[in-house]
Structure 1
Amino acid sequence: MDRMTTPHAVLGNPIDGQTPEGLQTAYFGMGCFWGAERMFWQTDGVWTTAVGYMGGSKANATYEEVCSGSTGHAEVVKVVFDPSQVPFEEILRKFWENHDPTQGNKQGNDIGTQYRSVVFTTTPEQLKAAEESRTAFQPVVAEAGYGPITTHIAPAGDFWIAEDYHQQYLHKNPQGYCNLGPNGMSCPIGIA
């Protein structure tokens, strides 16, 4: 089956292709994409997710190429969501509160450029919100004893969907590896 029409193993919607009218897309890298994808597909208002590669120099990069560090890609989750059900700020809050955004090119024991913390946006409003959320979260991170946030935020470029076996990996392999979890900090975005 073509990945453009492959249904999401949990949500049932296509994992790639044209985004339905009224929905928005953003991309997040926060270490290994398996756990990040599960966190996002469990979020009310998310229509579909897919894992892939973004921010690198090679078209149609493979997992092996990305892991070699030669392409410069990050492992990312494509998140298609309904902003009338879940505001982008809530998606950002989940992102910030569920990984360590200060580790540079790693996340826990996973080391390499593919594991860096990134947000790739698809609208000017998303870009502004992501940058403002980083600024709002930095004092919380510093107070918790962490260094500066290293998360890269930029407009989205080409998204190269990952191989089929990576899609919804932790649904298909419930005991699979997941290095993601709450970091104990609360992001103040959207809090008056």
Structure 2
Amino acid sequence: MLFMRKTTALPSAAEALPGRASPIPTATWHFVNGHQLQPPYPAGLERAVFGLGCFWGAERKFWKLGDAIYATAVGYAGGHTPNPSYEEVCSGRTGHTEVVLAVFDPKRISYDQLLKTFWEGHNPTQGMRQGNDVGTQYRSAIYTFGDAQRKAADGSRTAYQKALAAKGLGTITTGVAPSGEFYFAEDYHQQYLAKNPAGYCGLGGTGVSCPIGAGVTA
């Protein structure tokens, strides 16, 4: 990834790069499980979008949850620039977060379990950075689909803040916002650590367990 980017102020819509009308080309199939990477997805599946730092390592945390996850993909969300490239996002001039899309079967894994994976998979108290990766694209964020996800995300943030405070850790900076447009990242970013097992992953959690999540259901 691109290290030590210093841009820590989000651009306004007027300041953002113009982007492009057409999507950036990306993969068709999931490298790990062979499922279709882009919609339409099979009936009954739901989507979740999380930003927790460098999306290479973040995506791996979710595909490792097993067969209840139909597909994962990395991309960009929460910004202004339409169809941004990776280089544009890393410039800090699009407003986007590096995110993971998880397409899941709610009959087999709960949204709470995804939230638990999210909170425990990174340090949500660091603002516009994650470890040594500095920049607005590394901020912690949850982008929700509907009221149920929003309420669950807000409740989990409150619960995890109490758990962090009990261990003497700081204030959560994670933003919770309705999901807008998700832009798929370039082909080579998709399932990067499956293609490159020795590749960079700068994520590290706090070591504090998140007291939510019923786990995988029957």
SS in 2 for 1:158: coil
Structure-1 separation of matches of 2:141 and 2:127: 10
Structure-1 separation of matches of 2:82 and 2:167: 39
Work out whether 1:59 is the aligned partner of 2:82.
yes
**Quick one: which amino acid aligns to residue 67 of structure 1?**
C
Contact in 1 for aligned 2:26/2:184 (Cα 8 Å)? no
Structure-2 separation of matches of 1:137 and 1:96: 8
Out of 149, 171, 175, the residue aligned to residue 152 of structure 1 is 175
Contact in 1 for aligned 2:164/2:170 (Cα 8 Å)? yes
Work out whether 1:161 is the aligned partner of 2:188.
no
| Unmatched tracts of structure 2, length 5 or more | 1-23
How far did 1:23 drift? 0.7
Out of 65, 71, 78, the residue aligned to residue 101 of structure 2 is 78
TM-score (norm 2): 0.84
Structure-1 separation of matches of 2:33 and 2:115: 21
Give the corresponding residue for 2:69: 46
Q: Whose Rg is larger?
A: 2
Structure-1 separation of matches of 2:180 and 2:115: 19
How far did 1:3 drift? 6.0
How far did 1:190 drift? 3.9
How far did 1:157 drift? 0.2
How far did 1:13 drift? 0.7
SS in 1 for 2:122: coil
Give the corresponding residue for 1:24: 46
User: How well do the aligned residues superpose, as a CA RMSD in angstroms?
Assistant: 1.5
Structure-2 separation of matches of 1:110 and 1:59: 24
Contact in 2 for aligned 1:136/1:189 (Cα 8 Å)? yes
SS in 1 for 2:58: helix
How far did 1:4 drift? 7.4
- The Cα offsets for residues 27-86 of structure 1, whole Å up to 9 and x where unpaired, read as 010000000101100112111000000000100001000000001100000000011111
How far did 1:147 drift? 1.2
Work out whether 1:11 is the aligned partner of 2:11.
no
Contact in 1 for aligned 2:80/2:95 (Cα 8 Å)? yes
Structure-2 separation of matches of 1:181 and 1:87: 23
Work out the percentage of aligned pairs sharing the same amino acid. 56
Structure-2 separation of matches of 1:18 and 1:5: 14
Structure-1 separation of matches of 2:139 and 2:104: 23
Structure-1 separation of matches of 2:98 and 2:202: 13
Contact in 1 for aligned 2:50/2:118 (Cα 8 Å)? yes
Out of 166, 188, 195, the residue aligned to residue 143 of structure 1 is 166
- The Cα offsets for residues 119-139 of structure 1, whole Å up to 9 and x where unpaired, read as 111121111101100011101
Structure-2 separation of matches of 1:179 and 1:53: 18
Contact in 1 for aligned 2:141/2:176 (Cα 8 Å)? yes
Out of 107, 131, 134, the residue aligned to residue 154 of structure 2 is 131
